[in-house]
Amino acid sequence: MITDPDDVVWTLDAADADDADAADVRTSLLVLPHAGGNAHAYTEWRTFLPADVRLLIGQYPGRGARFSDPLPNGVDDLVGPILESLPAGTDDLVVLGHSMGSLVAFEVARALTLAGRAPRALIASACRAPFIANPSTVHPERLTDDELVTAIKARGGTDDGILDEPELREIIIPSIRADFAIDDVYRYTGPSPALSCPVTAIGGTEDPVVPLDALTRWADITTGPAAFEYLPGGHFYFQQQLERFFGLVNSVVSGAPTPHEFA
Can you tell me the distance from the alpha carbon of 158 to that of 251, in angstroms, rounded to the nearest whole number?
27
Q: What is the pLDDT of residue 28?
A: 97
Average pLDDT over residues 36-42: 93
Q: What is the pLDDT of residues 129-169, one digit of tens each?
A: 999 999 999 999 999 999 998 888 888 766 656 677 777 77
User: pLDDT at residue 15 above 80?
Assistant: no
Q: What is the pLDDT of residue 170?
A: 84
Is 83 buried (19+), middle (13-18) or exposed (0-12) by CB count in 10 A? middle
Q: What is the pLDDT of residue 2?
A: 56
Q: What is the pLDDT of residues 198-227, one digit of tens each?
A: 999 999 999 999 988 899 999 999 999 999
Element (H, E) at 81: helix 75-85
3-state secondary structure of 226: strand
Can you tell me the distance from the alpha carbon of 102 to that of 125, in angstroms, rounded to the nearest whole number?
6
Long-range Cβ contacts of 239-244 (<8 Å, 24+ apart) = 239/156, 239/157, 242/44, 242/45, 242/48, 243/48
Backbone angles phi, psi at 167, to 5 degrees: -70, -40
User: pLDDT at residue 1 above 60?
Assistant: no
The structure's pTM equals 0.93
Residue 225 C-alpha from the chain's centroid: 20
User: pLDDT at residue 6 above 80?
Assistant: yes
User: Amino acid identity, residue 205?
Assistant: T
Q: What is the pLDDT of residue 167?
A: 77
Q: What is the pLDDT of residue 20?
A: 40
Element (H, E) at 98: strand 93-98
